[in-house]
Amino acid sequence: MQTTRKPAPECPFEKRFPSQLLRDDTFFMTLAYNQAIDAWRRGEVPVGAVIEREGEIVALAHNTVENSRDPTAHAELLAITQAARALGDWRLEGCTLYVTKEPCPMCSGAVLMSRLKRVCYAVRDPKMGCLGGASDLNAIPTINHHLEISAGEIMEEDCRVLLQTFFRLKR
Amino acid sequence: MQTTRKPAPECPFEKRFPSQLLRDDTFFMTLAYNQAIDAWRRGEVPVGAVIEREGEIVALAHNTVENSRDPTAHAELLAITQAARALGDWRLEGCTLYVTKEPCPMCSGAVLMSRLKRVCYAVRDPKMGCLGGASDLNAIPTINHHLEISAGEIMEEDCRVLLQTFFRLKR
């Protein structure tokens, strides 16, 4: 079943160290960006996620699909599991997920099912994204939870260049 | 954050023991049904899943959201992680997922992302299901993988009565 994969190229980007004093969307997205860089350094597609509640970080994760050989090990899903463990409840009410790209079908579903308050993502994904890109699960009227979405507003270019460079160098 | 939950009622249904000689859709769905009964006995919404490849079972799981306090701990997602571990690859090519109800948005996305060959589900879910019920993620043209779907054909009534009885007794 194993396919031979070309090793990931070395990551030419560096992490950033924002001040902890201003905990705005850019602060949390910067931490998600740093997670994406960690993903790249471990040979994974560079996607990172952070979950915040009341100004505190409750989860930090990055994509580990290749290393864990687990198709469900996306940054968002790992962060949701981590946040639920930290909060002692699977209902992530009042939480915001920051993620460097628009969630895939699975992760878009997961943010709905875990009852997050808000999702803020950097890069839109018109091909696979399911929070406005290829489809919008948040718009299904029969689903009894809906999210606030901020799309493509925070660090869009940084996160896009990171992803595009990864795929360009990998080819 | 914890909400007080009414304890689950005792499960009035019994597991079934099909012959191992005929490994057809009903055989595998029966094992998924037995997993759903195990879920109920542990106080969980009774949903079970099985993953099969070339006539062999590679994963068996049930919903554990309440006990693990993890919103991602749906039967399908746990089975996918288990199957990927068993096969040593996150691409579940050639595999069929049997599940007692139509997958939710998250799990519908997960079966696409893990490149399963086929999904066979018992009970349709017009409210939350995303493989034909409330939405159909399999029909998004830009997603580069598509599934064969068998919906509502195998053990539909058994799995529906199981779920309906659980929610009726829990009220």
What ipTM is given for this predicted complex? Answer: 0.91
Residue closest to A152 by CA, chosen among A127, A167, A131: A131
Residue of A nearest to B66 (CA): A90
Question: Residue A75's closest CA among A36, A24, A28?
Answer: A36
pLDDT digits (tens, 9 = 90+) for A80-137: 999 999 999 999 999 999 999 999 999 999 999 999 999 999 999 999 999 999 999 9
Q: Which residue of B65, B89, B127 is in closest CB contact with A142?
A: B127
User: From the candidates B44, B52, B76, B102, which is the catalytic residue?
Assistant: B76
**Dmax of chain A from CA atoms?**
49
Tokens 């919103």, residue located: B71
- Which uninterrupted H or E stretch holds A158? helix A156-170
Q: How far apart are CA B25 and CA B18, in angstroms?
A: 12
Q: Is A118 exposed, middle or buried (0-12, 13-18, 19+ CB in 10 A)?
A: middle
Tens-place pLDDT, residues B73-111:
999 999 999 999 999 999 999 999 999 999 999 999 999
CA distance A18 to chain B (A): 30
Structure tokens at B64: 């554990």
Residue-wise pLDDT tens digits, A9-19: 899 999 999 99
Residue B2 has pLDDT above 60, yes or no: no
> Chain B residues with CB inside 8 Å of A135's CB?
135, 137, 140
Residues of B in contact with A110 (CB under 8 A): 71-72, 105-106, 109
Could you give the domains of chain A? 25-170 (3.40.140.10)
For the record, the structure tokens of A48 come out as 């990172």
Whether the pLDDT of residue B3 is over 60: the answer is no
Helix (H, G, I), strand (E, B) or coil at A114: coil
Distance CA B92, CA B90 (A): 6
d(CA B139, CA B169): 36
CB B45 within 8 A of CB B62: no
User: Active site includes A76?
Assistant: yes
